[in-house]
Amino acid sequence: MSAIPIPDSMKRGTQIENLSDQMHHQDGELVAPDWLDGDAQEEWQRVVRELAPLRILSSLDQTTLAVYCSIVSNYRFVGRKVKAEGIFLVNTDGASRENPALKTLERLSKQILGYAAHFGLSPHGRGHLKVSRRKSKIEDDFDSFVGKK
């Protein structure tokens, strides 16, 4: 087995200081924190692009979304490791055993599904979202004209 480098987000003891300073709201758009790796940044952009029209994200969601994206990145990393090594590994005595990284994939997938439900990233999660659509200026003007509040 060849060694595969471990991303910083998976290393024990990784410190993320001043999270709120690293994440900011820029022109009404959530900006990914710079500590997210490439796969996590890619997931961030995908999720924000899909959820932006629903107007359900705010700056309060940045940390939770960043954690979700980091877990997705870790899942992809471990998935690539399993793909490279195989589902079964052969011991030095020639016996086969399940790749222990499969347990990590299972744990990460459960975490992903939990976070995904919060953001409506699954059919079940979307069914529980309460999305309020803001009225346009024309709709507001019409409601004022007809006496609706």
pLDDT digit string, tens, across residues 71-101: 999 999 999 999 999 999 999 999 999 999 9
Tokens read off for 79? 């998935």
CA angle 50, 79, 121 (to 5 degrees): 20
Tell me which residue of 3, 9, 5 sits closest to 72, measured CA to CA: 9
Of 4, 61, 11, 1, give the one whose Cα is nearest residue 33: 61
For residue 37, count other CB atoms closer than 10 A to its CB.
17
What does the pLDDT look like over 107-137, one tens digit per residue? 999 999 999 998 988 887 877 776 655 555 6
- As a whole-number percent, the residues of the chain with pLDDT over 70 amount to 67
Is the pLDDT assigned to residue 21 strictly greater than 50? no
